[in-house]
């Protein structure tokens, strides 16, 4: 069943009148070359009252009624109404927990600090949220007779893992282009396991992005990068879910790490849609966190977004955001301008220690989430964020995908990083007396921890 009541189309973001149906193989405006976005028929959606939408969304949380138990498809009417439920490719993504960072917050003087655990998902990153929509639409297009042979993406690791898994679930061939030696082992193994054609190229992400755009000129290979705005529609559910988890209250500040800059625009779109449809009346402030070694948007922010210059990024531990020429930069700037936005950066040592400190309070933080947490610490220090603000940090991936980062930190081998919170295993002979003596010394140190 598709929801023929509701309609959405691709529309040019530069304001041309160009519109295309969602089942057309098109990624840019044919007139001006700008990116497209999915535009919903807001008037139609307004026929349901804000209260009714909230009730509908609340009623679907955790349901087994296909496909509404998914955090993305529970918002189907707002995301991608035209796909037939039978063709949806979903692993019940979304519905990730909102972690109350109680002890971490206490350490830094905040008691209303939350981490949205988007990495607690099938492939371990928020990329699942967008990929379920894109692959579902591809599945729908194939059913409608479009000659699509495979789906392809360039990736810093997490997009390819999500694409590979969703395509494998649907039985659709996938192709991933990865920068050689620039992603974690787990990220490389994921698409290999799911049977993707894995192309490991001697370049960086931006180089892979160029190749995939060349390859997908052939319409039989569909492009799955976030310049394809179907992904953004799924990722938009993050904002709706956060507000829903706060019983439909809007937090004051949201901090999100960004690289190719699709996700921050998705975050903004979710809030805008809730505002337009009257579910909320307040906007959060959005903070985009970049790694200092890959900071083109930060540099542009410093000049008031007057100009944007792509850069060649340096190596960063936050490998998923090591991007110098972000495809969605215009969308991101638009979002930040609407949401009183801030861009702040964090260096390698800052991100590593922020991640490790968070881990000591029960999290298991990926380096990108480390960037966001380090930026939080900085903005608190600068008093840009107040300790009283209800603040949500978007955790974009699961720490388990970044074992090299974790091991390197605790072994003290991360280049240029003084690991303040390294915790090495105590290696001892198996002798109870020796063990007891060392153990009680260690315990004594721990009991002096203040929080």
Ligand X SMILES: *Cc1c(COP(=O)(O)O)cnc(C)c1O
Q: Which residues bind ligand X (CB under 6 A)?
A: 125, 127, 158, 226, 257-263, 320-321, 366, 368, 396-397
CB of 124 to ligand X, least distance (A): 9
Residue 105, binding choice from ligand X, Zn ion, none, Cβ under 5 to 8 Å by partner class: none
User: Binders of Zn ion: how many residues, by CB under 5 A?
Assistant: 7
Residue 316, binding choice from Zn ion, ligand X, none, Cβ under 5 to 8 Å by partner class: none
CB of 115 to ligand X, least distance (A): 13
Residue 189, binding choice from Zn ion, ligand X, none, Cβ under 5 to 8 Å by partner class: none
Between CA 288 and CA 292 the distance in angstroms is 12
Nearer to ligand X, 107 or 366 (CB): 366
Each residue 29-48 as x (binds Zn ion by CB under 5 A) or -, in order, gives x-xx-x--------------
Nearer to ligand X, 342 or 366 (CB): 366
CB of 111 to ligand X, least distance (A): 27
Residue 32, binding choice from ligand X, Zn ion, none, Cβ under 5 to 8 Å by partner class: Zn ion
Residue 261, binding choice from Zn ion, ligand X, none, Cβ under 5 to 8 Å by partner class: ligand X
Written as six digits, the tokens of 328 are: 């969605």
Nearer to ligand X, 235 or 353 (CB): 235
Written as six digits, the tokens of 450 are: 């203040």
Nearer to ligand X, 67 or 71 (CB): 71
User: Nearest CA to 265 among 327, 311, 312?
Assistant: 327
User: Nearest CA to 129 among 83, 91, 183?
Assistant: 91
212, 152 in Cβ contact below 8 A?
A: yes
Residue 258, binding choice from Zn ion, ligand X, none, Cβ under 5 to 8 Å by partner class: ligand X
Residue 158, binding choice from Zn ion, ligand X, none, Cβ under 5 to 8 Å by partner class: ligand X
Between CA 127 and CA 149 the distance in angstroms is 22
CB of 284 to ligand X, least distance (A): 18
What's the CA angle centered on 189, arms 122 and 215, to 5 degrees? 95
H or E stretch at 336: helix 329-338
CB of 352 to ligand X, least distance (A): 15
Phi, psi dihedral angles at 125 (to 5 degrees): -150, 165
CB of 106 to ligand X, least distance (A): 26
Beta-carbon count within 10 A of 314 CB: 13
CB of 368 to ligand X, least distance (A): 4
Between CA 332 and CA 327 the distance in angstroms is 10
Nearer to ligand X, 116 or 127 (CB): 127
CB of 53 to ligand X, least distance (A): 26
Beta-carbon count within 10 A of 114 CB: 23
Between CA 310 and CA 295 the distance in angstroms is 9
DSSP codes of every residue in 105-160: HHHTT-SSEEEEETTSSTTSBTHHHHHHHHHHHHHHHHHTT----EEEEE-SSHHH
Residue 14 interacting with Zn ion (CB under 5 A) = yes
Q: How many residues does the chain have?
A: 451
- Contact residue for Zn ion among 16, 56, 108, 311 (CB under 5 A): 16
Residue 31, binding choice from Zn ion, ligand X, none, Cβ under 5 to 8 Å by partner class: Zn ion
Residue 198, binding choice from ligand X, Zn ion, none, Cβ under 5 to 8 Å by partner class: none
Radius of gyration from C-alpha coordinates of the chain: 22
Written as six digits, the tokens of 169 are: 């679930």
Nearer to ligand X, 81 or 259 (CB): 259
81, 5 in Cβ contact below 8 A?
A: yes
CB of 270 to Zn ion, least distance (A): 24
Nearer to ligand X, 105 or 399 (CB): 399
What is the DSSP secondary structure assignment for residue 74, as one 8-state letter? G
9, 22 in Cβ contact below 8 A?
A: yes
Nearer to ligand X, 125 or 228 (CB): 125
167, 147 in Cβ contact below 8 A?
A: no
Nearer to ligand X, 29 or 366 (CB): 366
CB of 39 to Zn ion, least distance (A): 13
Between CA 243 and CA 236 the distance in angstroms is 12
Between CA 179 and CA 205 the distance in angstroms is 6
Nearer to ligand X, 105 or 259 (CB): 259
Residue 12, binding choice from ligand X, Zn ion, none, Cβ under 5 to 8 Å by partner class: Zn ion
| Residues in contact with Zn ion by the rule CB under 5 A | 12, 14, 16, 29, 31-32, 34
């Amino acid at each position: 069943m598709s929801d023929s009541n509701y309609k959405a189309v691709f529309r040019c973001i530069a304001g041309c009148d160009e519109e295309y149906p969602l089942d057309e193989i098109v990624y840019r405006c044919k007139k001006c070359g700008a990116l497209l976005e999915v535009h919903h028929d807001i008037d139609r959606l307004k026929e349901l009252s804000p209260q009714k939408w909230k009730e509908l969304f609340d009623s679907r949380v955790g349901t087994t009624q296909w496909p509404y138990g998914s955090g993305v498809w529970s918002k189907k009417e707002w995301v991608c109404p035209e796909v037939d439920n039978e063709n949806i490719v979903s692993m019940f993504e979304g519905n990730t927990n909102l972690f109350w960072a109680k002890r971490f917050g206490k350490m830094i003087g905040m008691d209303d600090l939350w981490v949205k655990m988007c990495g607690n998902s099938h492939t371990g990153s928020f990329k699942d949220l967008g990929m379920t929509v894109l692959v579902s639409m591809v599945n729908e297009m194939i059913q409608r007779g479009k000659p699509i042979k495979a789906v392809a993406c360039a990736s810093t690791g997490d997009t390819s893992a999500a694409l590979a898994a969703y395509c494998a679930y649907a039985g659709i061939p996938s192709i991933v282009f990865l920068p050689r030696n620039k992603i974690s082992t787990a990220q490389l193994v994921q698409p290999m396991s799911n049977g993707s054609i894995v192309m490991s190229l001697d370049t960086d992400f931006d180089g892979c992005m160029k190749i995939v755009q060349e390859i997908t000129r052939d319409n039989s290979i569909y492009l799955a990068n976030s310049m394809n705005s179907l992904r953004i529609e799924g990722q938009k559910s993050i904002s709706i879910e956060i507000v829903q988890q706060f019983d439909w209250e809007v937090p004051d500040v949201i901090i999100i790490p960004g690289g190719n800059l699709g996700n921050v625009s998705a975050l903004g779109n979710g809030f805008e849609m809730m505002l337009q449809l009257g579910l909320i009346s307040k906007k959060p402030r959005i903070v985009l966190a970049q790694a200092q070694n890959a900071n083109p948007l930060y540099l542009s922010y410093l000049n008031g977004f007057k100009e944007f210059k792509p850069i060649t990024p340096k190596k960063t531990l936050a490998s998923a955001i090591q991007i110098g020429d972000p495809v969605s930069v215009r969308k991101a700037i638009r979002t930040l301008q609407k949401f009183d936005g801030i861009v702040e950066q964090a260096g390698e040592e800052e991100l590593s220690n922020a991640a490790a400190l968070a881990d000591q309070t029960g999290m298991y933080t990926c380096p990108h989430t480390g960037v966001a947490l380090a930026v939080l610490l900085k903005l608190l220090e600068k008093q840009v964020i107040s300790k009283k603000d209800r603040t949500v940090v978007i955790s974009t991936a699961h720490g388990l995908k970044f074992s090299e980062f974790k091991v390197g930190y605790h072994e003290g081998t991360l280049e240029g990083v003084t690991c303040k919170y390294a915790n090495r295993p105590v290696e001892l002979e198996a002798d109870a007396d020796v063990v007891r003596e060392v153990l009680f010394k260690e315990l004594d140190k721990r009991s002096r921890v203040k929080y």
